[in-house]
Amino acid sequence: MKVLITGIDGFTGQYLEKFLIEKNFEVYGTVIAESGQENYLMCNIRNKSEVDGVIELVKPDYIIHLAAISFVGEENASLIYDVNVIGTQNILDAVLQTSVIPKKILLASSATVYGNQNAEVLDESMCPKPVNHYGISKLAMEHVAQTYFDKLDIIIARPFNYSGAGQAEHFLIPKIVKHYKEHSSVIELGNLHVAREFNDIGYVIRIYYELMIGEIRSEIVNLSSNKTIKLLDVIEIMNKIAGYEIEARVNQAFVRENEIASLSGSCEKLYSLIPSASSFENDFKKMLESMYLS
């Protein structure tokens, strides 16, 4: 069975490729730059003809669409919408034009679509209220994708924050771990009292796999754990792992306007669709230790 992963050379894609190969899938992926790997195909998803070529060549049994502008701080708003919305539409249109329709198309959205809900636990029944271009673009992607529900087997996942070894250092957890690895005495962060889910990449990959092979379709579901941790607690755990204490300072330049104070996802729908997901390993401290030692 062939799986096509868009953005395969990204943080999530690399873990997912390894996992699927171990499950005996034939894995292909799209990349922006030449990689030298036979199963990596150059493709800018903003270019419809390039997407057409990849879909026609691979004829995938499954598609996992990860390619996106995923950094909330990206300043080029036009690029965010072009990649995250139009890029997704190009993929879905390309699939409809081929003679082989995939068994499942899994689209990665984001928990940022919820925005500020004045609720401690966010569930799929809530009306999304994104507060930045990234979240808005992902919500627009969801709306576009839903117009294809009657034509293709699609499921949309809304991952909450996750991390692991190899994630880019401009993301929060890798940034914190990097400071400890460099034995810094001070770290400057934004609001230290925000509470977030910081799930392990392994947990996320297991759920993506189950969503892909399952009979689930035409659904939007949280990829969450309903477990939050404050940044101050992250610092405390890292102090113990590294064996020394770092001073955490608030830099107002890092405090975002319309900051989402608490972001935790309900697992009720996820666990109803994938009952075994509640037992998947998701150890935050173990994840930090692996990142620190990598």
Tokens of residue 288, six digits: 């930090």
In a domain, 251, yes or no: no
Task: Find the mean pLDDT for residues 3-28.
Answer: 97
Hunting for tokens 């034995």 — which residue is that?
Answer: 183
Please tell me the total count of domains within the chain.
1
pLDDT band at 81 (very low <50, low <70, confident <90, very high): very high
Task: Find the mean pLDDT for residues 217-239.
Answer: 95
The reply to whether 40 belongs to the active site is no
CATH number of domain containing 98:
3.40.50.720
DSSP-assigned beta bridge partners for residue 108: 157
Report the C-alpha gap between 243 and 51 in whole angstroms.
49
Report the C-alpha gap between 192 and 3 in whole angstroms.
40
Reported as a single tens digit per residue, the pLDDT across 95-104 is 999 888 999 9
Q: What share of the chain is helix, strand, coil (3-state, %, to 5)?
A: 40, 20, 40
Rg of the Cα trace of the chain?
19
Report the C-alpha gap between 177 and 288 in whole angstroms.
7
pLDDT band at 72 (very low <50, low <70, confident <90, very high): low
Task: Find the mean pLDDT for residues 259-278.
Answer: 90
Task: Find the mean pLDDT for residues 7-24.
Answer: 97
User: Which residues constitute the domain of residue 59?
Assistant: 2-161+201-224+265-280
In a domain, 167, yes or no: no
In a domain, 171, yes or no: no
Reported as a single tens digit per residue, the pLDDT across 29-70 is 999 988 889 999 999 999 999 999 999 999 999 999 999 987
Task: Find the mean pLDDT for residues 262-274.
Answer: 93
pLDDT value, residue 71: 65
In a domain, 33, yes or no: yes
Catalytic residue among 134, 162, 180, 203: 134
In a domain, 12, yes or no: yes
Q: Which of 279, 22, 265 is nearest to 161 (CA)?
A: 265
> Can you give the pTM of this predicted structure?
0.93
- Residues 120-134 as b or e (16 or more Cβ within 10 Å = b): ebbbbeeebebbbbb
Residue 134 neighbours by CB under 8 Å, 6+ apart: 69, 70, 71, 72, 74, 80, 84, 110, 112
Length of the chain, please? Answer: 294
In a domain, 243, yes or no: no
Reported as a single tens digit per residue, the pLDDT across 148-171 is 999 999 999 999 999 999 999 988
pLDDT value, residue 258: 67
Contact (CB, 8 A) for 74 and 67: no
